[in-house]
Structure 1
Amino acid sequence: MQEFNPYPKSKQLGHQKEKDTPKFKLQKPRKKRKPKVNKNIEMFHNRRIPHWKKRGEVNRKTANDTLRYYGEACAMCGNHNYALHHIMHKGYGIGGRGVWRNLVPLCELHHTGAEGVHKIKTFDQFWKDKHQKTFGPHYYKDAWDLWMEGHIENPTEELFEKFMKLEEERCQTSIG
Structure 2
Amino acid sequence: MQQKGFSLFELLIVVVISSVMFTIAIVNWREFQLRSELRNTTLALVTFLNQVKSNANFQNRNNAIYIIKEEDQPWRLIVIDNEQNDHDQIFFQFINPNNQVEILNKNNDLLSIFHGRRCMAQPETIKLKNDIGESRIIISTRGRIRYCAYAMQLAGFPKC
Q: Shorter chain as normaliser: what TM range?
A: under 0.3
TM-score when normalising by structure 1: 0.23
The structure richer in strand per residue is: 2
TM-score when normalising by structure 2: 0.24
Give the number of the structure whose alpha-carbon radius of gyration is greater. 1
Structure with the greater relative contact order (CA < 8 A, sep ≥ 6): 1 or 2?
A: 2
